[in-house]
Amino acid sequence: MFTGIVEEIGEILGIAKGAVSSRLTIRGKVIFQDAKLGDSIAVNGVCLTIAEKTDHTFTADVMAETLRRSSLGLLKKGSKVNLERAMAANGRFGGHIVSGHIDGTGTITHMRKEENAVWVAIEAPPAVLRYVVEKGSIAIDGISLTVAVVEEKGFQVSVIPHTGSETTLLSKSKGDIVNLECDIVGKYIEKFMTVPKEEHNTRTSTMDSSFLREHGFL
């Protein structure tokens, strides 16, 4: 689990491509303070597992499904990527709940500056856009941002200087592809609301007053 608060910008050092998968080697600094084999790292918002590591690099396997769903397959040697370690239970929750499981990709359609902020407009497929709400949260390449405007075929966010300098978003251009992860809360609510009525009726709960008393809650 992540928060969408990017810790540093890393660099792709190498890509070993298989027939439908790949293996990435990434260089960073901050994330290696306590990183261990098996830890999760969000790379442009995609949750990857550290398979190998040195003091300043780690290698992660990327399966075919991840390449289909995200923009990781477009990375090249030298590409800059947003990096974030998994959320610490004793830390501040600065962004929003980000799982690192990408819903799809979007395309940057334009950027415009407004004094100290930069507006970024992104075209998104209907399957993603259905979960995007004005003033709601969305992760763009792993960056926790607030949706400012929702349009028929996309949405817009306004990026402050700090976010622009600490992430890769404002280094991108019109036509670039970005990873999108919608707020997970909306997806769960939709799932619960669309469960067939007959399925509700067949479910039984074992949690009653006897169960609570047995386990010390009463």
Note whether 82 and 6 are within 8 A (CB): yes
- Identify the CA nearest to 155 among candidates 185, 131, 186, 184: 131
* Cα 6–chain centre separation: 10
CATH topology of 8-85 equal to that of 104-193? Answer: yes
The domain made up of 8-85 has a fold known as: Elongation Factor Tu (Ef-tu); domain 3 (2.40.30)
| Distances from the Cα of 79 to the Cα of 10, 21, 30, 186, angstroms | 8, 18, 18, 32
* Cα 137–chain centre separation: 11
**How is the chain split into domains, by residue range?**
8-85, 104-193
The domain made up of 104-193 has a fold known as: Elongation Factor Tu (Ef-tu); domain 3 (2.40.30)
Three-class secondary structure assignment of 119-158: EEEEECCHHHHCCCCCCCEEEECCEEEEEEEECCCEEEEE
The whole-number pLDDT of residue 88 equals 83
Question: What is the average per-residue pLDDT within 26-37?
Answer: 93
Rounded distance, CA 94 to CA 56, Å? 25
Question: What is the average per-residue pLDDT within 79-88?
Answer: 95
pTM over 0.95: no
Reported as a single tens digit per residue, the pLDDT across 41-63 is: 999 999 999 999 999 999 999 99
Using the predicted structure, report yes or no on whether residue 201 has a pLDDT greater than 60.
no
Rounded distance, CA 186 to CA 189, Å? 5
What is the identity of the amino acid at 77? K
Question: What is the average per-residue pLDDT within 65-91?
Answer: 94
Reported as a single tens digit per residue, the pLDDT across 104-151 is: 999 999 999 999 999 999 999 999 999 999 999 999 999 999 999 999
Within 13 Å, how many C-alpha atoms sit on residue 87's CB side?
Answer: 18
